Amino acid sequence: MPADKPAAKLYAYVNGKILPAEKAAVSVFDRGLVLGDGLFETVRAWDGHPQFFGLHYRRLNKSARRLRIRLDMDQASLAAMVKTLCRKSRLADAVVRITLTRGCYLGGLAIDPSVPPSLIITVSAVSGLPPALYDKGVKVAISTINKAAASGLDSAIKSTNYLANIFAKAQADRKGAYEAILLGPQGEIAELSTSSFFCVLGGKVLTPPIDTGILPGITRQVLLRILRREKIPHGEAALFPKDIGRMSEAILCSSVRGPLPITRIEGRKIGNGKVGPLFHRLRELYDRECDADASSAAVASPAAVAS
Question: Per-domain residue ranges for the chain?
Answer: 11-125, 131-281
C-alpha dist (Å) from residue 69 to 38, 52, 79, 119, 228: 8, 23, 19, 11, 34
C-alpha dist (Å) from residue 111 to 30, 33, 117: 13, 16, 11
Whether 181 and 197 have beta carbons less than 8 Å apart is answered as yes
Predicted confidence pLDDT, tens digits, the chain (307 residues): 445 445 579 999 999 999 999 999 999 999 999 999 999 999 999 999 999 999 999 999 999 999 999 999 999 999 999 999 999 999 999 999 999 999 998 889 999 999 999 999 999 999 889 999 999 999 999 999 988 766 567 888 999 999 999 999 999 999 999 999 999 989 999 999 999 999 999 999 999 999 898 999 999 999 999 999 999 999 999 999 999 999 999 999 999 999 999 999 998 999 999 999 999 999 999 999 999 999 887 656 544 333 2
Residue 48's closest CA among 94, 8, 15? 94
> Could you tell me how far CA 244 lies from the centroid of its own chain?
24
Whether 279 and 249 have beta carbons less than 8 Å apart is answered as yes
Fold exhibited by the domain 11-125: D-amino Acid Aminotransferase; Chain A, domain 1 (3.30.470)
pTM: 0.92
The per-residue pLDDT for 128 is 85
**Amino acid letter, residue 167:** F
The per-residue pLDDT for 153 is 72
**In angstroms, rounded to a whole number, what is the distance separating the alpha carbons of residues 197 and 177?**
15
Please name the CATH architecture into which domain 131-281 falls: Alpha-Beta Barrel (3.20)
